[in-house]
Each structure stands twice: as structure tokens, then as C-alpha cells.
Chain A
Amino acid sequence: MHEYSIVQALLEQCQTHAQANDATKITEVTVKIGAQSGVELHLFEVAFDTFKEKTICDEANLIIEHQPLLIYCNDCAQEYTLEKPEYVCPECQSLYIKVVDGEDMYLMRLEME
């Protein structure tokens, strides 16, 4: 249930940004969660709704952008989305690939008043 600690870190970031922008409340929080970030989206939502109470995000709407696993194949010189966490180029089977996105969690955008 590390989603709870991740949400706590997110709420702290929201508080910091609100202060820096002299906002009194945050109305919308957009995050990007990678398919291979290890975060369970449902638990994340539940945790957000639970912990936002009485914080700057009390009335905030949570928007989750779901980021599939995206790789770049050096041999094809092209990006591919992977359906399964099998780290190989789906086109040419090369292992000479790098992960572009889909393994992390980001705070993307905040709407505030």
C-alpha cells in the first residue's frame, strides 16, 4: 500500500506549489502514472480521496493520465509502445532499446485559485 505514501508526497508538492503561487485552493491535480511504475491506479485514487481532506486539495479533482510503457529502439530508430513488460523491440527483437516513459509517476499540472 505504498500508494498512501506516494499520495502524501504528492499532496506536499501541491501545498508547496500553492504557496509559491499564492493560491488558496487547488481545484484540479493532473498526474501521469506509468504502466510499469508499480502503482495501482485504483488504490492511488482511493488514497487521494482519503488524504486530500482538509488539505489545499480538499476540493480538487484528480486526473490520472495513464502512460503505457514506451521504448525507443536504437536499431529501428523508432519508438514503440509495449503491451507487456517484455523489454525487447517488438519489431526487430533488438535488446538495444531504452525506456522513454511508463516506469515513473509525475505531477504534471495544477489548476488553482
Chain B
Amino acid sequence: MCQDCGCSITETEHHHHHEHQNVHDNPQLNDSKTIEVITKILDKNDQEAGHNRSHFDNHNVLAINLMSSPGSGKTSLLEAIADQESFKFGVIEGDLETSRDADRIIAKGIPAYQIQTGTACHLDAFMVHKGLHAMPLEEIDVCFIENVGNLVCPASYDVGSHLNVVLVSVPEGDDKIEKYPVMFRKADLILITKTDLLPYFDFDVESAKAAARKLKPNVDIIEVSTKQSDTIKKVINWIEFKRSLRD
């Protein structure tokens, strides 16, 4: 049973706390003792993330965490996907850059839930857990989690997604991948967005790809422009392919 929500997910993973007591018990002094712990600091978040993944798995929903700087095109990508024939999806919206992101999605007839992050610089698994219980999981094939626009903080938090997609837009510059290695290392798919703007910016697509593959040699990369529907189709195909491997 899920403690937070009463939902009937049994905890699959068990976490060991390696607690070796009395390593240096020191009774002469003031009863001070040292214990070895060795636990991930974000252990609780990771457990909740595992719980979220079980929710998605139970409903056969593929969960995708979208991360990027503010304005790289996360919401626009979702709108563009909605405009094409594809899987059914919902959006857990955490990006506060524009408070209208969830409304933009809902306007397309897509279920969306806006997480109130306040001033948080990232989503954590507990916030996403709330969001996923507001999603019609029975009715959707894919659940996108649009993370807070930030290339640093969201990289440290597993939110319970199956896949991470990281966007970098042409106006941001091709050096962003090297500057934010922790984030791009987490990517299963990197989207180089706004490629219709390539003629106006010194963005070297090949060197961006090379930088990405130093961090993650097997990462997939797609060049995307919302103005070219065939590039959006490629993203849809990638997601369809990933879904087909989880049926």
C-alpha cells in the first residue's frame, strides 16, 4: 500500500541501510560514537521515484522527463506533438517560466496538471507523485513531465520517468552541452531545437553532437524545428519505438 496516497502499489525495492554500530564506541569520553551509514543522500526521493515508475508501469504508460533551459522549446514540442496523429499523452507540468504552460497544453485537448513548485528549481519525485494521481493514466500511452527550466538542478533528481529527454536550442549555443555535463549525461535523447534558426546563429551541430557523445557515447540525437513537421515526426517515431520495447 502506498503510504502517501493509499494506492495499492507494493514496494518492490528494498533499501538497505548499512548501519554498522559501535565502530568506535568510546565510553570514557562523553559517550560519543561513530556510525557508518553509506546511504545516498537522495535515498527517499529515489524510493519515491521507484514508486512513481511502478504506477506508470502498472498502467503501461511510458514516462518521459523533459529537461532544458527556460525557453528551449519544451512546451512548443508538446504542442507540436499534439498536432500530429500519434500516441495518447498527458503532461505533468512543472515549468513555471510561463504559468500558462498547462493551459497551452489543455488548449490542445491534452490532459495536463500544473504542479505548484513555488520557487523550486527542479521537480522531485514527491511533486511528480501528486501530478501522476491527477493524470488519467488509464487513458494515456505516454506521460510527459515538463521539468523546471534549468540545466543544473533537475539533473540530480530521479522523478520516476523511464526516459530523459534534454533539449538544447540553437540560440543557446553549442557550448551548453560541455558546460552542463551532468545534465546531458542523463539524456537518453538529446533534441537540438529551433534548427530553423541555424542560418542566423553560429551553432555547430556536429561539434554539439561530438560533445554529447563524449559524455554519453550511445546517446540518440534528433534535430528539431516546430516549423518542420517531419522533424517532429522523428521524435514521435523515437517514442513509439521505445514504447514498442516495453509492451
Contact = CB atoms under 8 A, between A and B. Distances in A.
Contact of B45 (A1, A9, A27): A9
Contact of A112 (B33, B38, B44, B215): B33
A36 B184 CA distance: 11
A21 B33 contact: yes
Contact of B39 (A13, A23, A27, A95): A13
Contact of B42 (A1, A28, A105): A105
B35 A110 contact: yes
A107 B37 CA distance: 6
Contacts of B157: 2
Interface string B179-219: 00111010000000000000000000000000000111110
A110 to B, nearest CB: 5
Interface string B23-47: 0000000111111111111111100
B174 interface: no
Contacts of A36: 181-182, 185
A108 interface: yes
Contact of B41 (A21, A95, A105): A105
A6 to B, nearest CB: 6
Nearest to B36: A109
A108 B40 CA distance: 9
B43 to A, nearest CB: 7
A38 B155 contact: yes
A12 interface: yes
A86 B216 CA distance: 8
B14 to A, nearest CB: 17
A86 B215 contact: yes
Given A36-B182, A113-B31, A106 B217 contact: no
Nearest to B31: A113
Interface string A81-113: 000011110000001000000011111111111
Contacts of B216: 87
B43 A88 contact: no
A104 B41 CA distance: 9
A1 B121 contact: yes
A22 B34 CA distance: 13
Given A36-B185, A87-B216, A107 B33 contact: no
A81 to B, nearest CB: 16
A78 interface: no
A85 B40 contact: no
Contacts of A66: none
Nearest to A29: B37
A6 B45 CA distance: 10
Given A20-B19, A112-B35, 10 more contacts: A2-B157, A5-B124, A6-B42, A21-B35, A23-B33, A37-B156, A85-B181, A95-B218, A106-B40, A108-B38
Interface of B: 19, 21, 30-45, 120-122, 124, 152-153, 155-157, 181-183, 185, 214-218
Interface of A: 1-2, 5-6, 9-10, 12-13, 17, 20-21, 23, 27-28, 31, 36-39, 85-88, 95, 103-113
Task: Pick the 3 closest A-B CB pairs, nearest first.
Answer: A2-B153, A38-B182, A85-B181
13 contacts: A5-B122, A5-B124, A13-B37, A38-B182, A87-B217, A104-B40, A107-B41, A108-B36, A108-B37, A110-B34, A111-B33, A112-B32, A112-B34
